[in-house]
Amino acid sequence: MSSVHAVTEELKFSIRVASFYEINQDARAEITTKVSELMAELGKKHDFLVWRTCMDIEGEKNSGS
């Protein structure tokens, strides 16, 4: 039996995006996929595993008035 212990860290990044149009579901999926691919690549380089990549959306919708 192996007694390997992994250290798990929650990394959070904040990105503010402004657009005249709501970012659609396809764009959100592409952003999440690209970030996940980048983290997997960096994980190979720096010897860590990526367990999950997700997008949490916060903020109010501004009507421009």
| Residue 29 structural domain | 21-53
41-51 pLDDT, tens per residue?
999 999 998 88
Give, in order, the Cα–Cα distances in Å from 31 to each of 6, 23, 38, 58: 28, 10, 11, 16
Distance from first CA to last CA of the chain, Å, rounded? 64
4-29 pLDDT, tens per residue?
888 899 988 888 999 999 999 999 99
pTM above threshold 0.85:
no
Residue 16 lies in a domain: no
Q: How many domains does the chain have?
A: 1
Residue 9 lies in a domain: no
